């Protein structure tokens, strides 16, 4: 058996779903593993709170406010304030592999790693930036960051992805690079699993509900879900559409629709269980998605899933019969499939979802995949 090189896992952000994604991967390791951790935390101290205590002795929690000033400075200098701290930590601990589990170091950092004899691994989450609808200055900042990230990945020699479709594309795009795959982690944290809080907005709900959960972005197709729901009198008569998550919808009149409940705020982990356990079904109407952790939430809580047939969902749902699919962007097909999942027997579908969760969201297997990637580096 190969001896694994001493590894440092770097997490540059806990924004949106990145926090649970990172912590669920990190928490598969033990203090006995030759792995260290560097976390960029914001004011909420997400990583410090969610990374298990026994790993804190092998971790650096670098706290920096997620303020407009910090964002502007990082944008202007194209440099993170913690770069020097990572390099110092690598020297101190004699690190041999650095794995950026999100984000990617710039060329200058990559050169320094090379000079130090350190092997660099970078996880690619999305090859293309998602379509967004934000204020112009946020869009401009995001455009620059996406371009820099893409450029940094181009010069990375070793890349990891959690998407089977993206793995195939990366192999074709960069035949000279080493490309690796490991499973997407479950996003069911301990707080989500044990959560018992009922969202205050739902305490007087009188009808069963259809759920959309997640940060509201244009590429997630929430407007198509609303069109399908409101166009079908049977649906709007018998169900409430619950849209839960931060973000701007941009749908005229939706706030006045008595058959729609908007919970447009940050949803606490302790509230997630109630949302999923009590939903008649959950809909993921994405227009694009290369990978996502939302399926793990639905599968864990046994919520029937209806998703668009974008590659990530299709590659999981179709071969495993773990949910229903509709044609992405086709509002009429979305409506008919929504009626189907609400009116037909879904006990077999729910059993398939549970089976998939138990087989594929296994922390032991995920850790083994990563250890094999680390052990194969030379």
| pLDDT tens per residue across span 118-157 | 999 988 887 655 455 555 545 555 566 566 666 666 667 7
* Listed range (13-17, 43-47, 93-97, 196-200) with the worst mean pLDDT: 13-17
- Enter the CATH code of domain 190-360: 3.40.50.2000
Pairwise pLDDT comparison (155 vs 368), residue with the higher score:
368
Local confidence band at 77 (pLDDT 50, 70, 90 cut-offs): low
Per-residue DSSP letters for 291-340? --SHHHHHHHHT--EEEE--HHHHHHHHHHT-SEEE-TT-HHHHHHHHHH
Backbone angles phi, psi at 4, to 5 degrees: -75, 135
Residue 274: pLDDT over 60: yes
pLDDT at 292 over 80: no
Quick check: 241 pLDDT over 80? yes
Q: Record the pTM.
A: 0.80
Neighbouring residues of 31: CB distance < 8 A, sequence distance ≥ 6: 54, 55, 57, 58
At residue 244, the pLDDT reads: 96
Give residue 86's pLDDT. Answer: 94
Write out pLDDT tens, residues 307-327. Answer: 999 988 998 999 999 999 999
* Residues 13-41, mean pLDDT to the nearest whole number: 92
What residues does each domain of the chain span? 7-185+362-375, 190-360
pLDDT score recorded for residue 107: 79
pLDDT digits (tens, 9 = 90+) for 344-362: 999 999 999 999 998 888 8
Of residues 129 and 197, more confidently modeled: 197
Here the contacts of 356-360 (C-beta below 8 Å, separation 24 or greater) are 356/299, 356/316, 356/320, 356/322, 357/186, 357/296, 357/299, 357/300, 360/183
Position 102 scores a pLDDT of 87
Closest to 169 in 3D by CA, of 311, 320, 18? 311
> Which homologous superfamily does the CATH classification assign to the domain defined by 7-185+362-375?
Glycogen Phosphorylase B; (3.40.50.2000)
What is the model's pLDDT at position 78?
Answer: 57
Q: How far is CA 87 from CA 97, 108, 134, in A?
A: 12, 12, 35
Checking if the pLDDT of 239 tops 60, the result is yes
Q: What is the pLDDT of residue 189?
A: 84
State whether residue 16 is helix, strand or coil: coil
Assign 253 a pLDDT band (cuts: 50, 70, 90): confident
Q: Is the pLDDT of residue 337 over 60?
A: yes
DSSP codes joined into one string, 123-164 = EE--SSPPP----HHHHHHHHHHHHHHHHHHHH-SEEEES-H
Q: Which residue has the tokens 């941009």?
A: 250
Domains 7-185+362-375 and 190-360 share a fold: yes
What burial letters (b/e) apply to 225-244, b meaning 16+ CB within 10 Å?
A: bbbbbbebeebbeebbbbbb
Q: What is the mean pLDDT of the chain?
A: 87
More confident residue, 218 or 208: 208
pLDDT at 73 over 70: no
Mean pLDDT for 176-182 is: 89
**Per-residue confidence (pLDDT) for residue 138, from 0 to 100:** 58
Q: What is the pLDDT of residue 36?
A: 98
């Amino acid at each position: 058996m190969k001896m694994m090189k001493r590894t440092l896992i770097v997490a540059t952000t806990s924004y949106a779903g990145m926090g649970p994604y990172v912590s669920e991967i990190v928490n598969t390791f033990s203090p006995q593993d030759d792995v260290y951790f560097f976390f960029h935390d914001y004011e909420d101290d997400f990583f410090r709170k969610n990374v298990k205590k026994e790993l804190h002795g092998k971790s650096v929690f670098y706290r920096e406010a997620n303020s407009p000033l910090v964002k502007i400075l990082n944008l202007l200098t194209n440099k993170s304030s913690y770069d020097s701290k990572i390099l110092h930590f690598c020297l101190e601990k004699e690190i041999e592999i650095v794995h950026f589990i999100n984000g990617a170091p710039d060329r200058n950092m990559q050169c320094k790693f090379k000079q130090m004899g350190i092997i660099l691994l970078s996880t690619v989450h999305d090859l293309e930036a998602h379509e967004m609808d934000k204020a112009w200055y946020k869009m401009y900042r995001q455009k620059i960051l996406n371009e820099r990230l893409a450029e940094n990945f181009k010069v990375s020699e070793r890349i990891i992805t959690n998407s089977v479709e993206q793995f195939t594309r990366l192999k074709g795009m960069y035949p000279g690079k080493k490309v690796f795959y490991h499973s997407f982690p479950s996003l069911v944290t301990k707080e989500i699993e044990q959560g018992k809080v009922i969202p205050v907005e739902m305490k007087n709900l009188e009808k069963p509900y259809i759920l959309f959960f997640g940060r509201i972005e244009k590429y997630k197709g929430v407007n198509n879900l609303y069109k399908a729901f409101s166009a079908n009198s049977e649906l709007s008569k018998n169900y409430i559409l619950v849209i839960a998550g931060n973000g701007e919808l941009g749908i005229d009149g939706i706030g006045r629709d008595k058959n729609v409940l908007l919970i447009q705020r940050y949803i606490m982990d302790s509230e997630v269980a109630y949302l999923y356990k009590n939903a008649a079904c959950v809909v993921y109407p994405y227009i694009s998605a290369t990978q996502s952790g939302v399926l793990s939430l639905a599968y864990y809580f046994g919520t029937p899933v209806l998703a668009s047939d974008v590659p990530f969902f299709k590659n999981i749902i179709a071969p495993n019969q773990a949910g229903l699919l509709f044609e992405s962007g086709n509002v009429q097909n979305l409506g008919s499939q929504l009626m189907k999942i609400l009116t037909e027997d879904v006990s077999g579908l729910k059993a398939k979802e549970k089976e998939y969760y138990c087989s594929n969201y296994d922390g032991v297997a995920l850790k083994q995949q990563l250890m094999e990637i680390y052990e194969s580096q030379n």
